[in-house]
A = this chain, B = another copy of it.
Amino acid sequence: MPLFDLPLSELESYSPEIPIPADLVPFWTETLAETRRHDLALDRTPYDNKLALIETEDLTYAGFGGTPVKAWLHRPAGVEGPLPTVVQYHGYSGGRGFPHATTTWAQAGYAHLVMDTRGQGWSAGGPSGTADWAPEAGVNHTPGFMTSGLSDPRHYYYRRVYADAVRLLDVALALPEVDASKIIVTGGSQGGGITIAAAALAALSDIPLVGAAPDVPFLCHIRRAVELTDRLPYAEITQYLAAWRDHAEQAYATLAYIDGAVLGRLATAPTLFSVALMDPICPPSTVFAAYHAYGADASDPVLDKEIRVYGHNGHEGGGPYQIDAQLDWFAERFASTS
């Protein structure tokens, strides 16, 4: 059934109670503090992207545990800035790949940072990679990254990734080309999940963002997702719990720390979501759960939010239509910030 989830009328007010770990904030505060104990160790190396209009640098910085994490920094060629800046996170399996492959926000005239996702990259390839250089990387898990470290939130893979993502915001703040008062975070699917996390953790870190734009975000209301879809990557969790049948409660307890419908409550930046009603990878109710939770626990709950609904799409979501909408929304946000 293409419309396999709740009907739109119910989605529009779908706001389930999802248990929030008692120590959610301290967990992340400590995680970030621990990560920041490592020097940022930022390295900038010019990189020939072969594009005349865009200038690219190959960045390396210290992510979680001090692991060297890669990123691209794109800018309009010859422009020094400081510029409004878009920080982009990639979907599952991807990574920063080639510099010419992801330049939309630089084309739009902004500084554009693209984070590599540690351990991933197997759909993007490219000239280099970011290993998940963590001792826990080899714990027993199903193929993929979703279940790596599921038995302890401190060992869980996405703790490291989210910390990397925040650390890239630290990089942005450190770059003279970046106008620190004009940063937007964005990404699709896993990149959308990281976007929500980055927005929440930026708030915890008092990093101001002028917007967060997650598309068809993954990693939201995960327990429901596991019940609703048998498609990867959520199904990695099903596969794990089908074997280790007695680990389910601990697994869901761990996942609560990184769930976008939980963590996103802390976000404070305005937001533009997108969701697709026939998305079998990231079911729409899990996205709406995150959308409605977003910013709910900010001291000033976020009211400036919007979600674009694509009625006949699967996980490709809005595709170029959403890019078009974001081009407008980003321009407005950057313009309204003086």
Contact = CB atoms under 8 A, between A and B. Distances in A.
Given A138-B137, A240-B122, A2 B97 contact: no
A155 B11 CA distance: 35
Contacts of A97: 320
Contacts of A119: 138-141
A103 B102 CA distance: 11
Among A109, A226, A321, A328, the most chain B Cβ lie within 10 Å of the Cβ of A321
A46 interface: no
B108 A51 contact: yes
Interface string A86-112: 000000000101101101101111000
Interface stretch (A29-37, A128-136, A181-189, A205-213): A128-136
A4 B227 CA distance: 8
Contact of A241 (B131, B245, B312, B327): B312
A238 interface: yes
Contacts of A50: 108, 324, 327-328, 331
A121 B140 contact: yes
A72 to B, nearest CB: 13
Interface residues of A, number: 81
A6 interface: no
Main secondary structure, interface of A, reads: loop
A52 interface: yes
A313 B107 CA distance: 30
A335 interface: no
Among A4, A235, A245, A319, the most chain B Cβ lie within 10 Å of the Cβ of A245
Contacts of A324: 50, 98, 100
B318 A245 contact: yes
Given A100-B104, A138-B119, A327-B50, A246 B1 contact: no
Interface in A295-330: 310-314, 316, 318-321, 323-324, 327-328
Contacts of A139: 119, 129, 131-132
Contacts of A143: 122, 142-145, 236
A16 interface: no
Contact of A107 (B52, B236, B248): B52
16 contacts: A1-B230, A2-B228, A3-B228, A50-B324, A51-B108, A98-B321, A98-B324, A100-B104, A100-B107, A122-B143, A123-B243, A125-B319, A125-B320, A132-B139, A238-B278, A245-B310
